[in-house]
Amino acid sequence: STFGFAYSEWVGKYITDMKDMSQVPSWATSLYEREYGYKWNMKGPGLLITSKKREIVVLQQGVDFSGEPLSIEITPKYQKKFGKLKVNYYNWFEIVSGNYGTNIVAQYRLNLNKTGQKKFDRISTQMVFPAITEVTFFNAPAYYFAGDFNDCVGENKYTKFLFSSMFYRFFSIDREGDITNFYWKFYRPVMGTILNDAYHNRANVMRSAKNAKATVKIQDNQFQILKDDKWHPLDIKGFNLSAVMPGSQAYDYTRDITTYSEFLSELKGMGGNCIRADDLLAPEFYRALYQYNRANPGKTIYLMQTISPADNIVSESYGNRLGMEQLKKNIEHVEEAIHGNATVPKEGSRNGGVYIDDVSPYLLGYIVKFDNSAGVVQALNGKNPKYTYDGAYVSSSGNCAEGIMAALCDYAFSYHEREYGYMAPIGAVGN
């Protein structure tokens, strides 16, 4: 996910009295009766946990746990920043796991006996799992709260007087099923710290800006990298990475950032320093690349990004007005994604996604992909044999197919220069 965790697709909630049907969701009883084969006869406090696949697990006080079943606490690493906060938790929660490079700010802790643990094993063998995760984007932290944290029961007129947050924090009492104690003693101080840090860090947050400085150039048929205001030649030892997982169909790529992080570490171990992405990959790949290079200064893995048309763009699109607009929009999406500033829609089999990691400092260049199969070239040249293209950066003097290729490359140059203020190396490749 964007915020550095993997879904288990299970969510849960504390129920004060499972015999009170005003507290139990109506769908829960039907799921329970369907899965276990007998009527809902639960009573007393419990945890109701359900999955996206309409599975259900019920944990009862006196059977699966004694005392309070679930608490939330700041992890030791973050106690200096947020304090040694720990309270019982009585609201909706998600069961997630942290990905590679994700910081766990707070964690849930289940307090189950052996019977309860055995029931919970079908979901996870871990009794402790993330409640708040933190990842870094553009030199700023981004947090995910795996639960319904901002509920606060109470009259609004009593919660807005001067120093009300301090008053409620000190005088709130932990009552079974009462979520206000969590709000005032945990959520409110955590959010206060986050917002205060964000305010003081606002000047340090960096995004891709116009008039950025080019850090890559080609000279004497060789890539050169700008380091410490000097140009240094780069010997590329590259690996190709496609949007197809082994044994899978096109674009069936993983969304697990750990897979990409492990791949980058293995690539570096083999002496590699560059990846050619054969298409726009999942957002998690670019996040893994961003995190890897930030964590390994001096061991940079560079990127050559192919701009491939989605598989729903047919060969007839080349040359006609609507088709060329679609191809140019695809160029925009890819370049924006590399700069961490894109919401790419689903196109054909390509899933799209939200791209917020700026990997442009590691970009060697773009490769514009064009269908130059014999049938396409012959059809294009037959329709408009005299077509040539005269652009701002790229021109053609050959046939129609070459002219369209030149037009796409020229647009890639122009859009990048207009949006980001510098020129990135751009090449072309056929199928």
- DSSP per-residue string spanning 305-320: EEEPPPTTS-GGGTTS
Tell me whether residue 275 is in a domain: yes
**Angle of the 400-420 helix axis to the 321-338 helix axis, nearest 10:** 40
Confidence (pLDDT) at 56: 95
Report residue 372 CA to chain centroid gap.
Answer: 34
Residues 251 and 126 in one domain: no
Residue 234 maps to a domain: yes
Same domain flag for 110 and 227: no
CA atoms within 13 A on the CB side of 389: 20
Helix (H) or strand (E) holding 14: strand 5-15
Specify whether 377 is located in the same domain as 289.
yes
Domain total for the chain?
A: 2
The confidence score (pLDDT) of residue 130 equals 95
Q: Could you tell me the pTM of the whole model?
A: 0.64
For 50, other C-beta atoms within 10 Å of its C-beta total 20
The answer to whether residues 136 and 238 belong to one domain is no
Closest CA relative to residue 285, chosen from 262, 305, 264, 260: 260
Last residue of a domain, one of 101, 131, 147: 147
CA–CA gap between residue 379 and residue 429 (Å, rounded):
19
In a domain, 184, yes or no: no
CA distance 69 to 46: 8
Asked if residue 29 is part of any domain, the answer here is: yes
Domain end residue (candidates: 130, 147, 164): 147
* CA gap 410, 418 in Å, rounded: 12
User: Are 295 and 405 in a shared domain?
Assistant: yes
pLDDT of residue 204: 65
Do residues 383 and 235 both lie within one domain?
Answer: yes
Do residues 244 and 385 share a domain? yes
User: Does residue 89 form part of some domain?
Assistant: yes
Assess contact for 96 and 130: CB atoms under 8 A. Answer: yes
407 and 325, same structural domain?
Answer: yes
Out of 147, 165, 190, pick the residue that ends a domain.
147
pLDDT value at residue 35: 93
What residues make up the domain containing 16? 5-147
Query: Do the domain assignments include residue 293?
Result: yes
160 assigned to some structural domain:
no
Q: Looking at 114-221, list the stretches that DSSP marks H as alpha helix, in order from N- to C-terminal side.
A: 114-120, 164-171, 180-182, 188-200
Question: Same domain, yes or no, for 131 and 220?
Answer: no
Tokens of 156: 């609004």
Whether residue 15 is found in the same domain as residue 121: yes
On whether both 142 and 221 belong to a single domain, the answer is no
Cα→Cα distances 122→8, 36, 382, 395, Å: 11, 15, 63, 62
C-alpha pair distances (Å), 368 with each of 81, 151, 279 = 47, 49, 10
Tell me, yes or no, whether 252 and 344 share the same domain.
Answer: yes
Walk along the chain (431 residues) and give the pLDDT tens digit of each residue. Answer: 667 777 888 999 999 999 999 999 888 999 999 999 989 999 999 999 999 999 999 999 999 999 899 999 999 999 999 999 999 999 999 999 887 668 899 999 999 999 999 999 999 999 999 999 998 766 678 899 999 988 765 544 444 444 444 434 443 444 555 788 898 899 999 999 999 998 887 766 655 455 467 889 999 889 999 988 899 999 999 999 887 766 666 556 777 788 888 899 999 899 999 999 999 999 989 999 998 998 888 899 999 999 988 776 665 666 677 788 889 999 999 999 999 888 898 887 777 888 988 999 999 999 999 887 888 788 888 888 888 889 999 998 888 888 889 999 999 999 999 999 898 999 999 87
Helix/strand/coil for 216: strand
| Secondary structure (DSSP) of 56-122 | EEEEEBTTTBSS--EEEEE-GGGHHHH-S-EEE--S-EEEEEEPTT-EEEEEEEE---HHHHHHHTT
The C-alpha atoms of residue 352 and residue 348 are separated, in whole angstroms, by 10
Quick one: tokens of 253? 């790529």
Q: Give dist(CA 189, CA 390) in Å, integer.
A: 61
- Domain membership of residue 345 (yes or no) is yes
Rounded Cα distance, 196 and 19, in Å: 43
